[in-house]
Amino acid sequence: MEVKKNPKSRSAMSGKADKKGFCRRCQNFLILVLMALCPAFSMAQGQQVTGNVVDESGDPIIGASVQVKGTSNGTITDFNGTFNISGVSKNANLVISYIGFRTQTISVAGKNNIKVTLEEDKQLLDEVVVVGYGMQRKTDVTGALTRVGEKELNSKPVANAFQALQGKAAGVDITTNERPGTVGSISIRGQRSINAGTDPLYVVDGVPLQAGGIESINPRDIESIDILKDASSTAIYGSRGANGVVLVTTKRGQEGRTQVSYGGSFTFEKIVDKSPAMSASDYITWRRWAMYNQSPSKYTPGNQPTKEQDSEFFKGDNTALANVMKGWESGTWDGSKVTDTDWTDFVTQTGITQEHTLSVRGGTKNVSGFVSFGYMKNKGTQKGQEYERYNFSASADVQGNRWFKAGGSFNASYSVQQYGYSKAYGTNSGPTDIYGAAKAILRYTLPYDEDGNLITQPGGSTTNTYSIIDEWTKSNDNRENYRVLGSFYAQIDFGKMWEKLSGLQWKTQFGPELRYYRNGNFLDASSISRAGGNNTVSRDDERQLAWTLDNMLLFNKEFGKHTVGVTLLQSASKSNKEESKISEENIPIPSFLWNNLGAVDVTDSKYKVGIGSDLNETAMTSYMARVNYSFMERYLLTASARWDGAAVLAQGNKWDFFPSMALGWRMEQEEFMKDFDWLDQLKVRAGVGVTGNSAVSPYGTLGVISSYWMPFSTGNSQILVTNEPYYSSGSNLMPNKYLGWEKTTQWNLGFDFSVLKGRIGGTIDIYTSRTNDLILNVSIPSINGYPAMKSNIGQTKNKGFEFTLNTIPVMTKDITWNSNINFAWQKDEIVELANGKQDDVNNSWFIGQSIGVFYGYQNAGLWQESDAEEMAKFNANGEKFTAGNVRPVDQNGDYKIDASDRVVLGNKNPRLTAGWSNIVSWKGLELTIELQGRFKYMISTGGEGQLGMYQQREISYWTPENTGAEWQKPIYNQSGGDPYSGLLGFKDASFIKVRNLSLGYTLDKNLLKNLGISNLKFYIQGRNLGMLYSSVDFMDLDTNKTYFNRGFTLGMQVDF
């Protein structure tokens, strides 16, 4: 879509030239170098004219073009904005021009010295944003959209684009995952579907992705990210736009001198633990109390230890017991004599991340290109975790003739991830990384016995923990990922072929996507995960090929005061995904890992060979029409209609219709607003749209029949008859011809404003949505042979408020302070479920509550000795409360704690998210501070059950001398003594984190010009420095763990 500019537009951007002065001077320098390399124009006769070119603030404009009108005689201004041109006739006119300013023609009229002040061209300064299948001026946008530009994306070195977006966009919540090569989750305006997740649609250079997100793209190759949030914007993507759309535009070539750039950094990280484990001595005391509270008639209190009891408490590991006995060497207990083993020392290291990008961009009027090479390696702070990635990106645009243009972009990546330890053998709970596993080992235990032999179970079998020494050499989870993304287009401008077709264009775009993934996993018999069993090995290979073909007819034209834009789209996409997997046990040569799986006898049961394969194919066809209409560039209308047909849905329900409409009113253009000189922009937006969600797996509506290989087995009656193995087929999915789309209707009301020449600006959005026909499992009569089937039933609603404020609190000749603050409030609610208004307790889905909640008993603190009478009433009904136990809330006052006392405790997702970015510039120095916050939600901290078998963090727990403690009294095998012991682990969560603090210095351009360098910047950065506020002091609420990585970065950016 062609973007029209209005020279009368009072864009908010026109008031921002001063605050962008520093950036413009960088641009000036590049243009100056480009033009200085051009040969000087010959001059024959005439006078010499000198002069000075400045902007409206009086600052010199570097590299402005000064040319004698009608001739090839010209020059450019220098670093002071001055020029000197010879051979000028006395009646000549000089044409002075510069990008972003209005061209002026000045009569010489015998003058020898001229001063020229160029005015900003508001037509060119009006920001253009990507809106899906085209571009629009931001002033003409009627939907809710947030743009994150190149400068914001590159304000700090990051491993992936998700990290760069954290805290930058209102209503966009991104969680943190610090495992190298792994990304967190993202949600835009919360959750609307129960089963479909929150992942948005990612569109790279106009192509919707089908085989993953944008984590494989080098962030330094991204020009901008535009986030579409409301349905009036996302409905043009129909069934794929329900969770919002993230539009990524990668860098392309540009007309002018070829520019070579390098950006790189080194980051050094250490683990910061907010909740250190108990020392060996403290844990021994804690264990004594736990044993006493379990059997008070058998043991003495924890503050009255005996050597004989300790011998019983800590038996099972002779080395560990001997260590405890050191405390009794003098005859009385002295805990300082016990060796204290900090097991985390064995698994931590200094994390080092290096990333480098070398790029070249340039072009002419007809041909432009961009090429980039990137490399990143992240050695994690935990041993065994590592990630390495290579990137290659290229793009080209060719103007073949006046009416034909073609081009494309190509992004390839290869990555290898050493995932590291993930969980203990035979469990899906417990520590999910090696650091957590190390913290779970009791600190009174030792790694080696007196002969230097490794102790595999420190503390003995009752602790149920295994040594983490060298675990990274015993388990290998290696994940390779190859990915290629493409976007290629051809465009015909019919108006350039025939004037009567002015404004009409045809564009065809093809986007291939290829992904190959290989996961090789080996677990040695001595690893934690195998716990002394056989070694296991597996290999999982996935290959996915997807493509999207879009054909678009575009029309954009002005008719007097009317501007009309039309987009007609026909789109087809397909994805083919193949997967194969093989697993074995007890392989004879472990060093082969997963690379020689055919070396064993697959018929031998001791190897437990498992082989499987899978094929998934999906396809979609779409048609879309969109109209953009503007009257006097004051009254705006956008309307779209899309028809999607999805292969995953049943016949008769494959196709559906997704419309949208939005209105905009640029109030500042009204005559009655002209007297408000301080007002740059005031736009009101209102929109409504429908999006869909086909949250069904491929073949999910078909009657699927699977084949099974039935080997010889005496337990199979059929085999006993035939005495031979055989194949069998069986139905494992019931046909479902009625299943259709989930559909979300969203309303949005927004305001965009800018005052005081851009010193203050921002957006406000208020929205509400309703999702109908949720895809849920519904119980059906067992006579059908299936317990349940998916059906379109149920409803949710969602509402929220978003606010973004951009300010320039300080702007002087030398100092500029730019500040951006955003926050969003959001609330989702279940309206109906499979059984109408009836709650689904098993899934923790409740009418009138959020989709993700914690459900259980509330706690009222701890029982005290003074509560003996009250405890007796509960104990008479079967409870076993004693002082120091957790006190659950009896909701109905019947002195029984049962299912009727369970309530919704809190929301898993935050009600409020916020971000605050500040950039203070002084001459060449630039200070950046970024804060991020999440508020009003609940977490389950876990690990506070006080079982006694695992490591405990340093806490204040209840004893007869410490009745005001935060945590309950410990009881060995707590579940048998206090079934409500985990209730104190539910905590209200809110935090504000210092995400980034950096200081950069850009060298003076005058010092660099003789070196051929146009820009050189060095910076130092602190990452994840800590919490300004946290409602839970022993947790890092950003990672939802008790520890996080703090890092310091050294980096540079140089442009030639």
DSSP string, 958-989: -BTTBTT-SBPPP-TTGGGT-TTGGGGGEEEE
Closest CA relative to residue 984, chosen from 934, 1042, 1015, 945: 945
β pairing state of 104-107 and 222-228:
unpaired
Which helix (H) or strand (E) segment holds residue 291: the answer is helix 280-294
CA distances to 344, 823, 950 from 458, in Å: 14, 48, 11
What would the two tokens of residue 48 be? Answer: 């010499």
Determine the Cα–Cα distance for residues 93 and 105; give it in Å rounded to an integer: 6
Cα dihedral value 73, 78, 80, 82, nearest 10:
-10
Query: For residue 16, is pLDDT > 90?
Result: no
Q: Considering only 99-113, 697-711, 744-758, which range has the smallest mean pLDDT?
A: 697-711
Determine the Cα–Cα distance for residues 963 and 860; give it in Å rounded to an integer: 15
> Which residues have CB under 8 Å from 831's CB, separation 6+?
770, 794, 795, 796, 797, 847
The predicted pLDDT at position 241 comes to: 85
Q: Residues 290, 313: contact at Cβ < 8 Å?
A: no
Q: Considering only 43-47, 233-237, 396-400, which range has the smallest mean pLDDT?
A: 43-47
Q: Residues 396, 253: contact at Cβ < 8 Å?
A: yes
Q: Per residue in 130-143, pLDDT tens? A: 787 887 777 778 88
CA distances to 8, 178, 996 from 1022, in Å: 45, 16, 6
Closest CA relative to residue 934, chosen from 1002, 894, 991: 991
Question: Residue type for 947, please?
Answer: L
**Model confidence at 121, in pLDDT bands (50, 70, 90)?**
low
**Model confidence at 238, in pLDDT bands (50, 70, 90)?**
confident
Q: Residues 442, 949: contact at Cβ < 8 Å?
A: no
Burial class (CB in 10 A: 0-12, 13-18, 19+), 593: middle
Q: Residue ranges per domain, the chain?
A: 18-119, 127-266
Q: Residues 73, 56: contact at Cβ < 8 Å?
A: no
**Model confidence at 708, in pLDDT bands (50, 70, 90)?**
low
Q: Which residue has the higher pLDDT, 389 or 649?
A: 389
Residue 229 sits at φ, ψ, to 5 deg, of: -115, -35
CATH number corresponding to 18-119: 2.60.40.4130
What would the two tokens of residue 195 be? Answer: 């089963």
Mean pLDDT of 415-429: 76
Determine the Cα–Cα distance for residues 216 and 390; give it in Å rounded to an integer: 9
| pLDDT mean across residues, the chain | 86
Query: For residue 425, is pLDDT > 70?
Result: no
Please report the sign of the dihedral spanned by the C-alpha atoms of residue 421, residue 424, residue 429, residue 431: negative
Determine the Cα–Cα distance for residues 179 and 158; give it in Å rounded to an integer: 13
What would the two tokens of residue 910 be? Answer: 């935050």
Determine the Cα–Cα distance for residues 363 and 369; give it in Å rounded to an integer: 6
Residue 985 sits at φ, ψ, to 5 deg, of: -80, -10
Q: Per residue in 761-787, pLDDT tens? A: 999 999 999 999 888 877 777 666 667
Which regions of 419-535 does DSSP assign to beta strands (E)?
475-493, 504-523
The predicted pLDDT at position 40 comes to: 36
CATH class assigned to 127-266: mainly beta
The DSSP bridge partners found for residue 760 are 755, 807
What would the two tokens of residue 697 be? Answer: 């797996």
Cα-trace Rg, the chain: 34
The predicted pLDDT at position 1030 comes to: 95
Query: For residue 168, is pLDDT > 50?
Result: yes
Q: What is the largest CA-CA distance in the chain?
A: 115
**Model confidence at 943, in pLDDT bands (50, 70, 90)?**
low
Mean pLDDT of 77-103: 82
The predicted pLDDT at position 573 comes to: 94
Please report the sign of the dihedral spanned by the C-alpha atoms of residue 710, residue 712, residue 715, residue 720: positive
Determine the Cα–Cα distance for residues 692 and 659; give it in Å rounded to an integer: 10
Q: Considering only 165-179, 637-651, 933-947, which range has the smallest mean pLDDT?
A: 933-947
**Model confidence at 39, in pLDDT bands (50, 70, 90)?**
very low
Q: Residues 431, 466: contact at Cβ < 8 Å?
A: no
Query: For residue 28, is pLDDT > 80?
Result: no
Which helix (H) or strand (E) segment holds residue 870: the answer is helix 868-875
Q: Considering only 561-570, 738-747, 820-829, which range has the smallest mean pLDDT?
A: 738-747
Mean pLDDT of 174-184: 91
- Residue 332: DSSP 8-state: S
CA distances to 286, 798, 856 from 906, in Å: 31, 17, 10
The predicted pLDDT at position 27 comes to: 47
Q: Considering only 316-325, 572-581, 739-748, which range has the smallest mean pLDDT?
A: 739-748
Closest CA relative to residue 1004, chosen from 925, 947, 933, 940: 925
Burial class (CB in 10 A: 0-12, 13-18, 19+), 176: buried
The predicted pLDDT at position 724 comes to: 52
